[in-house]
Structure 1
Amino acid sequence: MLTKRIIPCLDIKNGKVVKGINFVGLQEIGDPVELAKLYEQQCADEIVFLDITASFEARDIIVGLIGRAARELSIPLTVGGGIRSLDDFRKILQNGADKVSINSSAIANPQLITEAAQEFGVQCVVVAIDAKQRSDGGYDVYIKGGRENTGLDLIEWVIECERLGAGEILLTSMDKDGTKSGYDIAMLNAVCQAVNIPVIASGGCGSISDIVDVFKETKSDAALVASLFHYGEATVKEVKDALIKEQIPARHL
Protein backbone atom coordinates (compact mmCIF):
# COMPACT_ATOMS: atom_id res chain seq x y z
CA MET A 1 0.00 0.00 0.00
CA LEU A 2 1.30 3.46 -0.90
CA THR A 3 2.21 5.74 1.96
CA LYS A 4 -0.30 8.49 2.69
CA ARG A 5 1.03 12.01 2.18
CA ILE A 6 0.77 14.96 4.56
CA ILE A 7 0.92 18.24 2.63
CA PRO A 8 1.07 21.59 4.45
CA CYS A 9 -0.65 24.28 2.36
CA LEU A 10 0.64 27.83 2.48
CA ASP A 11 -1.77 30.47 1.15
CA ILE A 12 0.43 33.35 0.02
CA LYS A 13 -0.61 36.97 -0.39
CA ASN A 14 1.98 39.62 -1.35
CA GLY A 15 4.78 37.24 -0.39
CA LYS A 16 3.48 36.32 3.09
CA VAL A 17 1.56 33.28 4.35
CA VAL A 18 -2.04 34.09 5.33
CA LYS A 19 -4.99 32.05 6.64
CA GLY A 20 -8.74 32.70 6.67
CA ILE A 21 -12.08 31.00 7.37
CA ASN A 22 -14.41 30.07 4.50
CA PHE A 23 -12.08 31.94 2.14
CA VAL A 24 -12.29 35.29 4.03
CA GLY A 25 -10.87 37.10 7.10
CA LEU A 26 -7.16 36.75 6.33
CA GLN A 27 -4.44 36.86 8.98
CA GLU A 28 -0.71 37.05 8.24
CA ILE A 29 1.34 34.06 9.49
CA GLY A 30 4.92 34.49 8.23
CA ASP A 31 7.55 33.79 5.57
CA PRO A 32 6.59 30.95 3.18
CA VAL A 33 10.08 29.51 2.69
CA GLU A 34 10.93 29.50 6.41
CA LEU A 35 7.62 27.78 7.21
CA ALA A 36 8.12 25.26 4.40
CA LYS A 37 11.60 24.42 5.74
CA LEU A 38 10.17 23.88 9.23
CA TYR A 39 7.51 21.52 7.84
CA GLU A 40 10.11 19.59 5.85
CA GLN A 41 12.14 19.12 9.04
CA GLN A 42 8.98 17.72 10.64
CA CYS A 43 8.69 15.15 7.80
CA ALA A 44 6.09 16.77 5.50
CA ASP A 45 5.85 14.89 2.20
CA GLU A 46 5.16 17.87 -0.04
CA ILE A 47 4.44 21.60 0.19
CA VAL A 48 1.77 23.61 -1.62
CA PHE A 49 2.23 27.34 -2.28
CA LEU A 50 -1.10 28.88 -3.26
CA ASP A 51 -0.76 32.44 -4.51
CA ILE A 52 -4.08 33.97 -3.55
CA THR A 53 -3.04 37.43 -4.76
CA ALA A 54 -3.05 35.89 -8.25
CA SER A 55 -2.43 39.31 -9.79
CA PHE A 56 0.08 40.08 -12.52
CA GLU A 57 2.08 42.34 -10.17
CA ALA A 58 2.48 39.50 -7.67
CA ARG A 59 3.99 37.13 -10.24
CA ASP A 60 7.57 38.27 -9.61
CA ILE A 61 7.13 37.85 -5.85
CA ILE A 62 5.85 34.27 -6.13
CA VAL A 63 8.48 33.35 -8.74
CA GLY A 64 11.18 34.61 -6.37
CA LEU A 65 9.70 32.56 -3.53
CA ILE A 66 9.60 29.43 -5.72
CA GLY A 67 13.29 29.89 -6.54
CA ARG A 68 14.19 30.27 -2.87
CA ALA A 69 12.05 27.29 -1.86
CA ALA A 70 13.49 25.08 -4.62
CA ARG A 71 17.02 25.81 -3.42
CA GLU A 72 16.21 25.08 0.23
CA LEU A 73 13.69 22.20 0.06
CA SER A 74 14.22 18.60 -1.00
CA ILE A 75 10.52 17.60 -0.94
CA PRO A 76 8.18 18.31 -3.90
CA LEU A 77 6.70 21.80 -4.23
CA THR A 78 3.31 22.42 -5.87
CA VAL A 79 2.41 25.98 -6.89
CA GLY A 80 -1.05 27.29 -7.74
CA GLY A 81 -2.90 30.57 -8.18
CA GLY A 82 -3.38 32.71 -11.28
CA ILE A 83 -1.89 30.17 -13.70
CA ARG A 84 -3.65 30.57 -17.03
CA SER A 85 -1.35 29.36 -19.82
CA LEU A 86 1.36 26.91 -20.83
CA ASP A 87 3.83 29.79 -20.46
CA ASP A 88 2.75 30.20 -16.83
CA PHE A 89 3.32 26.46 -16.30
CA ARG A 90 6.74 26.72 -17.93
CA LYS A 91 7.80 29.68 -15.80
CA ILE A 92 6.70 28.05 -12.53
CA LEU A 93 8.39 24.73 -13.36
CA GLN A 94 11.58 26.34 -14.68
CA ASN A 95 11.93 28.24 -11.41
CA GLY A 96 11.94 25.00 -9.42
CA ALA A 97 8.37 23.88 -8.69
CA ASP A 98 7.61 20.17 -9.20
CA LYS A 99 3.89 20.45 -9.89
CA VAL A 100 1.44 23.15 -10.95
CA SER A 101 -2.09 23.44 -9.63
CA ILE A 102 -4.82 25.01 -11.79
CA ASN A 103 -8.40 25.74 -10.82
CA SER A 104 -10.47 28.41 -12.63
CA SER A 105 -8.25 28.23 -15.72
CA ALA A 106 -8.92 24.49 -16.10
CA ILE A 107 -12.65 25.24 -16.27
CA ALA A 108 -12.20 28.23 -18.62
CA ASN A 109 -9.87 26.21 -20.88
CA PRO A 110 -10.02 22.44 -20.26
CA GLN A 111 -7.51 21.85 -23.08
CA LEU A 112 -4.88 23.46 -20.85
CA ILE A 113 -4.94 20.25 -18.76
CA THR A 114 -4.17 18.14 -21.84
CA GLU A 115 -1.56 20.52 -23.28
CA ALA A 116 0.28 20.79 -19.96
CA ALA A 117 0.19 17.02 -19.40
CA GLN A 118 1.58 16.42 -22.90
CA GLU A 119 4.34 19.02 -22.57
CA PHE A 120 5.44 18.60 -18.94
CA GLY A 121 4.08 15.17 -17.94
CA VAL A 122 0.88 14.08 -16.21
CA GLN A 123 2.66 14.09 -12.82
CA CYS A 124 3.07 17.90 -13.04
CA VAL A 125 -0.62 18.69 -13.49
CA VAL A 126 -2.81 19.08 -10.40
CA VAL A 127 -6.42 20.20 -10.88
CA ALA A 128 -7.69 22.00 -7.79
CA ILE A 129 -11.44 22.01 -7.32
CA ASP A 130 -13.56 23.97 -4.83
CA ALA A 131 -16.97 22.36 -4.39
CA LYS A 132 -20.09 22.84 -2.31
CA GLN A 133 -23.09 20.59 -1.65
CA ARG A 134 -26.35 21.25 -3.46
CA SER A 135 -29.79 20.83 -1.92
CA ASP A 136 -30.22 17.56 -3.88
CA GLY A 137 -27.13 16.07 -2.23
CA GLY A 138 -24.84 16.47 -5.27
CA TYR A 139 -21.98 18.97 -5.47
CA ASP A 140 -21.37 22.07 -7.58
CA VAL A 141 -17.94 23.35 -8.64
CA TYR A 142 -17.09 26.95 -7.72
CA ILE A 143 -14.43 29.36 -9.01
CA LYS A 144 -13.02 32.83 -8.18
CA GLY A 145 -12.15 31.93 -4.61
CA GLY A 146 -15.52 30.29 -4.10
CA ARG A 147 -17.56 33.31 -5.18
CA GLU A 148 -18.98 31.96 -8.43
CA ASN A 149 -20.96 28.76 -9.00
CA THR A 150 -20.01 27.30 -12.39
CA GLY A 151 -23.04 25.00 -12.44
CA LEU A 152 -20.65 22.12 -13.20
CA ASP A 153 -21.36 18.88 -11.38
CA LEU A 154 -18.35 17.85 -9.30
CA ILE A 155 -18.37 14.15 -10.25
CA GLU A 156 -18.74 14.88 -13.98
CA TRP A 157 -15.90 17.40 -13.75
CA VAL A 158 -13.42 15.11 -11.93
CA ILE A 159 -14.06 12.34 -14.48
CA GLU A 160 -13.43 14.85 -17.27
CA CYS A 161 -10.23 16.10 -15.58
CA GLU A 162 -8.86 12.57 -15.42
CA ARG A 163 -9.78 11.96 -19.08
CA LEU A 164 -8.04 15.20 -20.12
CA GLY A 165 -4.79 14.20 -18.41
CA ALA A 166 -4.80 15.52 -14.85
CA GLY A 167 -2.31 13.72 -12.59
CA GLU A 168 -4.04 14.54 -9.30
CA ILE A 169 -7.19 16.16 -7.94
CA LEU A 170 -6.90 18.61 -5.03
CA LEU A 171 -10.44 18.69 -3.64
CA THR A 172 -11.50 21.45 -1.26
CA SER A 173 -14.86 21.31 0.48
CA MET A 174 -16.13 24.90 0.74
CA ASP A 175 -18.65 23.80 3.35
CA LYS A 176 -15.78 22.60 5.55
CA ASP A 177 -12.98 25.05 4.71
CA GLY A 178 -11.59 26.75 7.81
CA THR A 179 -14.30 25.31 10.10
CA LYS A 180 -12.01 22.75 11.80
CA SER A 181 -14.92 20.30 11.86
CA GLY A 182 -13.20 17.52 9.89
CA TYR A 183 -12.82 16.71 6.22
CA ASP A 184 -15.87 16.23 3.97
CA ILE A 185 -15.89 12.41 4.02
CA ALA A 186 -18.99 11.99 1.83
CA MET A 187 -17.67 14.30 -0.91
CA LEU A 188 -14.23 12.65 -0.85
CA ASN A 189 -15.73 9.17 -1.11
CA ALA A 190 -17.86 10.23 -4.08
CA VAL A 191 -14.79 11.59 -5.90
CA CYS A 192 -12.42 8.73 -4.95
CA GLN A 193 -14.95 6.26 -6.35
CA ALA A 194 -15.24 8.20 -9.61
CA VAL A 195 -11.54 8.47 -10.56
CA ASN A 196 -8.35 6.39 -10.49
CA ILE A 197 -5.89 9.27 -10.04
CA PRO A 198 -4.76 10.42 -6.58
CA VAL A 199 -7.14 12.64 -4.60
CA ILE A 200 -5.85 15.16 -2.06
CA ALA A 201 -8.33 15.97 0.73
CA SER A 202 -8.61 19.65 1.64
CA GLY A 203 -10.83 21.80 3.86
CA GLY A 204 -11.95 21.27 7.43
CA CYS A 205 -8.95 19.80 9.22
CA GLY A 206 -9.12 20.76 12.90
CA SER A 207 -7.20 17.99 14.67
CA ILE A 208 -4.85 15.05 14.22
CA SER A 209 -7.83 12.71 14.54
CA ASP A 210 -9.46 14.40 11.50
CA ILE A 211 -6.42 13.37 9.44
CA VAL A 212 -6.51 9.82 10.80
CA ASP A 213 -10.25 9.66 9.99
CA VAL A 214 -9.87 10.89 6.40
CA PHE A 215 -7.46 8.04 5.65
CA LYS A 216 -9.52 5.45 7.51
CA GLU A 217 -12.84 6.47 5.98
CA THR A 218 -11.84 7.43 2.40
CA LYS A 219 -9.33 6.36 -0.25
CA SER A 220 -7.73 9.83 -0.28
CA ASP A 221 -4.02 9.64 -1.10
CA ALA A 222 -3.05 12.78 0.77
CA ALA A 223 -4.33 15.30 3.29
CA LEU A 224 -3.81 19.03 2.86
CA VAL A 225 -3.35 20.83 6.19
CA ALA A 226 -3.02 24.55 6.94
CA SER A 227 -4.06 26.22 10.21
CA LEU A 228 -3.44 23.13 12.37
CA PHE A 229 0.26 23.47 11.53
CA HIS A 230 0.46 27.25 11.06
CA TYR A 231 -0.88 27.95 14.55
CA GLY A 232 1.30 25.28 16.16
CA GLU A 233 -1.65 23.13 17.26
CA ALA A 234 0.14 20.03 15.94
CA THR A 235 3.34 19.16 14.11
CA VAL A 236 3.69 17.04 11.00
CA LYS A 237 5.67 14.53 13.06
CA GLU A 238 2.81 14.21 15.57
CA VAL A 239 0.43 13.50 12.69
CA LYS A 240 2.78 10.85 11.25
CA ASP A 241 3.14 9.22 14.69
CA ALA A 242 -0.66 9.03 14.99
CA LEU A 243 -1.01 7.53 11.50
CA ILE A 244 1.61 4.85 12.18
CA LYS A 245 -0.05 4.03 15.51
CA GLU A 246 -3.29 3.44 13.59
CA GLN A 247 -1.39 1.30 11.06
CA ILE A 248 -1.91 3.82 8.27
CA PRO A 249 1.22 3.78 6.05
CA ALA A 250 3.17 7.04 6.31
CA ARG A 251 6.74 8.14 5.59
CA HIS A 252 8.57 8.69 8.86
CA LEU A 253 11.82 10.31 10.00
Structure 2
Amino acid sequence: MYTKRIIPCLDVKNGRVVKGTNFVGLRDAGDPTELAKRYDLERADELVFLDITASYEERKTMVDVAESCASQVFIPFTIGGGIKSVEDMRTMLHAGADKIALNTAAVQNPELLQKGAEKFGRQCMVLAVDAKRVGEEKWEVFIHGGRTPTGIDCMEWVQRAVALGAGEILLTSMDADGTKNGYDIPLTRAVSERVSVPVIASGGAGELSHFYDVLIDGKADAVLAASVFHYGEFSIREVKTYLKNRGVEVRL
Protein backbone atom coordinates (compact mmCIF):
# COMPACT_ATOMS: atom_id res chain seq x y z
CA MET A 1 0.00 0.00 0.00
CA TYR A 2 1.26 3.49 -0.86
CA THR A 3 1.81 5.91 2.00
CA LYS A 4 -1.19 8.22 2.41
CA ARG A 5 -0.56 11.93 2.97
CA ILE A 6 -2.16 14.32 5.47
CA ILE A 7 -2.20 17.88 4.16
CA PRO A 8 -3.41 20.99 6.01
CA CYS A 9 -4.93 23.62 3.71
CA LEU A 10 -4.46 27.32 4.36
CA ASP A 11 -6.99 29.50 2.53
CA VAL A 12 -5.51 33.00 2.40
CA LYS A 13 -7.32 36.31 2.03
CA ASN A 14 -5.58 39.66 2.51
CA GLY A 15 -2.57 37.94 4.03
CA ARG A 16 -4.53 36.01 6.66
CA VAL A 17 -5.71 32.40 6.82
CA VAL A 18 -9.52 32.17 6.76
CA LYS A 19 -12.09 29.38 6.83
CA GLY A 20 -15.79 29.22 6.05
CA THR A 21 -18.58 26.79 5.22
CA ASN A 22 -19.61 25.99 1.64
CA PHE A 23 -17.16 28.73 0.54
CA VAL A 24 -18.91 31.51 2.51
CA GLY A 25 -18.99 32.87 6.08
CA LEU A 26 -15.21 33.31 6.34
CA ARG A 27 -13.55 33.74 9.73
CA ASP A 28 -9.95 34.41 10.67
CA ALA A 29 -7.70 31.45 11.48
CA GLY A 30 -4.30 33.08 11.87
CA ASP A 31 -1.06 34.07 10.19
CA PRO A 32 -0.09 31.75 7.31
CA THR A 33 3.60 31.48 8.16
CA GLU A 34 2.98 30.81 11.85
CA LEU A 35 0.42 28.11 11.03
CA ALA A 36 2.78 26.60 8.49
CA LYS A 37 5.57 26.41 11.07
CA ARG A 38 3.21 24.65 13.47
CA TYR A 39 2.23 22.06 10.87
CA ASP A 40 5.86 21.53 9.97
CA LEU A 41 6.61 20.73 13.62
CA GLU A 42 3.57 18.43 13.76
CA ARG A 43 4.97 16.51 10.76
CA ALA A 44 2.31 17.23 8.18
CA ASP A 45 3.32 15.64 4.89
CA GLU A 46 2.71 18.74 2.79
CA LEU A 47 0.92 22.10 2.91
CA VAL A 48 -1.41 23.82 0.46
CA PHE A 49 -1.87 27.60 0.32
CA LEU A 50 -4.80 28.90 -1.72
CA ASP A 51 -5.34 32.60 -2.34
CA ILE A 52 -9.12 32.35 -2.47
CA THR A 53 -9.79 35.84 -3.86
CA ALA A 54 -6.83 36.09 -6.25
CA SER A 55 -9.03 35.92 -9.34
CA TYR A 56 -9.77 39.60 -8.87
CA GLU A 57 -7.20 40.81 -6.32
CA GLU A 58 -3.46 41.40 -6.40
CA ARG A 59 -1.21 38.36 -5.79
CA LYS A 60 1.73 40.07 -4.16
CA THR A 61 0.75 38.77 -0.73
CA MET A 62 1.12 35.14 -1.85
CA VAL A 63 4.63 35.76 -3.16
CA ASP A 64 5.48 37.10 0.28
CA VAL A 65 3.87 34.06 1.90
CA ALA A 66 5.86 31.69 -0.32
CA GLU A 67 9.14 33.42 0.47
CA SER A 68 8.41 33.55 4.19
CA CYS A 69 7.40 29.90 4.40
CA ALA A 70 10.26 28.68 2.26
CA SER A 71 12.71 30.24 4.72
CA GLN A 72 11.09 28.70 7.80
CA VAL A 73 9.25 25.52 6.73
CA PHE A 74 10.90 22.32 5.55
CA ILE A 75 8.02 20.29 4.12
CA PRO A 76 6.79 20.64 0.51
CA PHE A 77 4.08 23.17 -0.16
CA THR A 78 1.75 24.03 -3.01
CA ILE A 79 0.49 27.53 -3.82
CA GLY A 80 -2.55 28.39 -5.91
CA GLY A 81 -4.65 31.41 -6.72
CA GLY A 82 -4.21 34.08 -9.37
CA ILE A 83 -1.57 32.18 -11.33
CA LYS A 84 -2.34 32.88 -14.98
CA SER A 85 0.90 32.35 -16.90
CA VAL A 86 4.10 30.35 -17.06
CA GLU A 87 5.87 33.43 -15.73
CA ASP A 88 3.54 33.49 -12.70
CA MET A 89 4.42 29.83 -12.09
CA ARG A 90 8.12 30.59 -12.32
CA THR A 91 7.74 33.45 -9.84
CA MET A 92 6.02 31.23 -7.26
CA LEU A 93 8.46 28.35 -7.73
CA HIS A 94 11.42 30.70 -7.38
CA ALA A 95 9.79 32.15 -4.25
CA GLY A 96 9.91 28.68 -2.72
CA ALA A 97 6.77 26.77 -3.68
CA ASP A 98 7.23 23.13 -4.68
CA LYS A 99 4.03 22.86 -6.73
CA ILE A 100 1.57 25.16 -8.46
CA ALA A 101 -2.20 24.71 -8.20
CA LEU A 102 -4.34 25.93 -11.10
CA ASN A 103 -8.11 26.21 -11.02
CA THR A 104 -9.77 29.17 -12.75
CA ALA A 105 -6.82 29.78 -15.08
CA ALA A 106 -6.74 26.14 -16.17
CA VAL A 107 -10.45 26.16 -17.02
CA GLN A 108 -10.12 29.41 -18.96
CA ASN A 109 -6.86 28.38 -20.65
CA PRO A 110 -6.37 24.59 -20.50
CA GLU A 111 -3.14 24.77 -22.51
CA LEU A 112 -1.57 26.44 -19.47
CA LEU A 113 -1.42 23.00 -17.83
CA GLN A 114 0.49 21.65 -20.80
CA LYS A 115 2.88 24.59 -20.92
CA GLY A 116 3.56 24.34 -17.19
CA ALA A 117 4.17 20.60 -17.37
CA GLU A 118 6.55 21.03 -20.29
CA LYS A 119 8.49 23.80 -18.55
CA PHE A 120 8.60 22.58 -14.94
CA GLY A 121 7.49 18.93 -15.04
CA ARG A 122 4.02 17.52 -14.43
CA GLN A 123 4.97 16.76 -10.81
CA CYS A 124 4.72 20.54 -10.23
CA MET A 125 1.27 20.88 -11.78
CA VAL A 126 -1.74 20.43 -9.50
CA LEU A 127 -5.22 20.80 -10.92
CA ALA A 128 -7.51 22.26 -8.24
CA VAL A 129 -11.17 21.44 -8.87
CA ASP A 130 -14.15 22.92 -7.02
CA ALA A 131 -17.05 20.60 -7.81
CA LYS A 132 -20.75 20.84 -6.93
CA ARG A 133 -23.30 18.09 -7.34
CA VAL A 134 -25.88 18.86 -10.03
CA GLY A 135 -27.47 15.43 -10.47
CA GLU A 136 -27.14 11.71 -9.83
CA GLU A 137 -23.43 10.89 -10.15
CA LYS A 138 -22.90 14.26 -11.84
CA TRP A 139 -20.84 17.21 -10.65
CA GLU A 140 -20.20 20.63 -12.21
CA VAL A 141 -16.91 22.55 -12.07
CA PHE A 142 -16.99 26.03 -10.50
CA ILE A 143 -14.34 28.73 -10.74
CA HIS A 144 -13.51 32.11 -9.10
CA GLY A 145 -13.37 30.58 -5.63
CA GLY A 146 -16.65 28.73 -6.09
CA ARG A 147 -18.54 31.79 -7.30
CA THR A 148 -18.96 31.00 -10.99
CA PRO A 149 -20.53 27.87 -12.53
CA THR A 150 -18.92 26.72 -15.77
CA GLY A 151 -21.27 24.08 -17.12
CA ILE A 152 -18.24 21.76 -17.35
CA ASP A 153 -18.65 18.15 -16.22
CA CYS A 154 -16.15 17.34 -13.49
CA MET A 155 -15.27 13.85 -14.76
CA GLU A 156 -14.63 15.03 -18.29
CA TRP A 157 -12.54 17.92 -17.03
CA VAL A 158 -10.20 15.94 -14.76
CA GLN A 159 -9.52 13.41 -17.52
CA ARG A 160 -8.74 16.14 -20.02
CA ALA A 161 -6.53 17.97 -17.53
CA VAL A 162 -4.46 14.88 -16.79
CA ALA A 163 -4.02 14.29 -20.50
CA LEU A 164 -2.74 17.87 -20.81
CA GLY A 165 -0.21 17.54 -18.00
CA ALA A 166 -1.78 17.76 -14.54
CA GLY A 167 0.23 15.55 -12.20
CA GLU A 168 -2.19 15.63 -9.28
CA ILE A 169 -5.84 16.51 -8.59
CA LEU A 170 -6.86 18.61 -5.58
CA LEU A 171 -10.57 17.82 -5.44
CA THR A 172 -12.84 19.97 -3.27
CA SER A 173 -16.50 19.14 -2.76
CA MET A 174 -18.36 22.42 -2.48
CA ASP A 175 -21.30 20.57 -0.94
CA ALA A 176 -19.18 19.12 1.86
CA ASP A 177 -16.77 22.02 2.40
CA GLY A 178 -16.68 23.18 6.01
CA THR A 179 -19.70 21.09 7.04
CA LYS A 180 -17.68 18.54 9.08
CA ASN A 181 -20.11 15.87 7.90
CA GLY A 182 -17.49 13.89 6.04
CA TYR A 183 -15.84 13.98 2.65
CA ASP A 184 -17.86 13.44 -0.52
CA ILE A 185 -17.06 9.76 -1.01
CA PRO A 186 -18.96 9.25 -4.31
CA LEU A 187 -17.29 12.29 -5.90
CA THR A 188 -13.81 11.34 -4.71
CA ARG A 189 -14.16 7.73 -5.78
CA ALA A 190 -15.53 8.71 -9.19
CA VAL A 191 -12.54 10.95 -9.88
CA SER A 192 -9.99 8.51 -8.43
CA GLU A 193 -11.27 5.76 -10.69
CA ARG A 194 -10.99 7.93 -13.80
CA VAL A 195 -7.47 9.34 -13.50
CA SER A 196 -4.01 7.81 -13.19
CA VAL A 197 -2.56 10.57 -10.99
CA PRO A 198 -2.91 11.07 -7.21
CA VAL A 199 -6.17 12.56 -5.92
CA ILE A 200 -6.27 14.75 -2.81
CA ALA A 201 -9.70 14.74 -1.17
CA SER A 202 -10.86 18.06 0.28
CA GLY A 203 -13.98 19.31 2.04
CA GLY A 204 -15.92 17.94 5.00
CA ALA A 205 -13.50 16.60 7.62
CA GLY A 206 -15.09 16.60 11.06
CA GLU A 207 -14.25 13.24 12.67
CA LEU A 208 -11.23 10.98 12.58
CA SER A 209 -13.25 8.32 10.79
CA HIS A 210 -13.84 10.71 7.90
CA PHE A 211 -10.15 10.59 6.97
CA TYR A 212 -10.19 6.81 6.89
CA ASP A 213 -13.44 6.63 4.92
CA VAL A 214 -12.26 8.84 2.06
CA LEU A 215 -8.87 7.18 1.83
CA ILE A 216 -10.36 3.68 1.72
CA ASP A 217 -13.89 4.01 0.30
CA GLY A 218 -13.12 7.12 -1.73
CA LYS A 219 -9.80 5.72 -2.97
CA ALA A 220 -8.04 9.02 -2.31
CA ASP A 221 -4.26 9.20 -2.18
CA ALA A 222 -4.20 12.07 0.31
CA VAL A 223 -6.57 14.01 2.55
CA LEU A 224 -6.68 17.75 2.95
CA ALA A 225 -8.34 19.54 5.86
CA ALA A 226 -8.44 23.05 7.28
CA SER A 227 -10.62 24.05 10.23
CA VAL A 228 -10.16 20.85 12.27
CA PHE A 229 -6.41 21.54 12.22
CA HIS A 230 -6.47 25.35 12.44
CA TYR A 231 -8.72 25.40 15.51
CA GLY A 232 -7.04 22.47 17.27
CA GLU A 233 -9.80 19.88 17.04
CA PHE A 234 -7.29 17.30 15.86
CA SER A 235 -3.54 17.31 15.53
CA ILE A 236 -1.72 15.83 12.56
CA ARG A 237 -0.33 13.13 14.86
CA GLU A 238 -3.79 12.19 16.11
CA VAL A 239 -5.01 11.68 12.57
CA LYS A 240 -1.94 9.69 11.56
CA THR A 241 -2.04 7.51 14.67
CA TYR A 242 -5.72 6.78 14.12
CA LEU A 243 -5.10 5.81 10.51
CA LYS A 244 -2.05 3.72 11.39
CA ASN A 245 -4.06 1.82 13.98
CA ARG A 246 -6.66 1.03 11.30
CA GLY A 247 -4.06 -0.35 8.93
CA VAL A 248 -3.49 2.68 6.73
CA GLU A 249 0.14 3.31 5.79
CA VAL A 250 1.19 6.81 6.90
CA ARG A 251 4.45 8.56 7.82
CA LEU A 252 4.68 8.97 11.59
What band does the TM-score fall into relative to the shorter chain? over 0.9
CA contact (8 A) 1:11 1:18 kept: yes
| Residue 214 (structure 2) aligns with | 214
1:29 counterpart residue number = 29
Q: Deviations over 1:76-101 (max 9, x none)?
A: 01000111111110100010000000
TM-score (norm 2): 0.97
Aligned to 1:243: 243
How many equivalent residue pairs? Answer: 252
SS in 1 for 2:135: coil
More displaced 10-residue stretch of structure 1: 63-72 or 141-150: 141-150
Counterpart of 2:117 in structure 1 is: 117
Aligned CA RMSD, in angstroms, stands at 1.1
Distance in 2 (CA, whole Å) between partners of 1:146 and 1:58 is 18
- Alignment identity in percent? 54
The residue number in structure 1 matching 2:60 is 60
AA aligned opposite 2:79: V
Distance of 1:226 and 1:177 partners within structure 2: 10
Contact 1:205 1:228 in 2 (8 A): yes
TM-score if structure 1 supplies the norm length?
0.97
Alpha carbons 2:126, 2:166 under 8 Å: kept: yes
Contact 2:53/2:144 (<8 A) preserved: no
Unmatched tracts of structure 1, length 5 or more: none
Partner of 1:44: 44
- Distance between the aligned counterparts of 1:150 and 1:248, measured in 2? 36
User: 1:156 — aligned with what?
Assistant: 156
Q: Between 46-55 and 198-207, report the one with greater CA deviation.
A: 46-55
Q: How does 1:7-22 map to 2 (within 5 A)?
A: 7-22=7-22
> How big is the shift at 1:218?
2.1
Query: How far 1:245 moved relative to its partner?
Result: 0.2
What's the secondary structure of 1:29's corresponding residue?
strand
Residue 201 of structure 1 aligns to a residue in which SS? Answer: strand
Structure 1 runs (4+) deviating above 3 angstroms are 55-58
SS in 1 for 2:59: helix
Q: Does the C-alpha gap of structure 1 residues 168 and 55 become closer, same or farther in structure 2, counting only changes over 3 Å?
A: closer
What is residue 203 of structure 1 aligned with on the other side? 203
Q: Deviations over 1:175-223 (max 9, x none)?
A: 1011110000001111011001000000111121111111121221100
Q: Which amino acid aligns with 2:73?
A: L
Match of 2:176 in 1: 176
Q: Which residue of 1 aligns with 2:144?
A: 144
In structure 2, list runs of 5 or more residues that go unmatched.
none
Q: Deviation of residue 58 (structure 1)?
A: 3.7
Whether the aligned pair in 1 keeps the contact of 2:137 and 2:186 (CA below 8 Å) is no
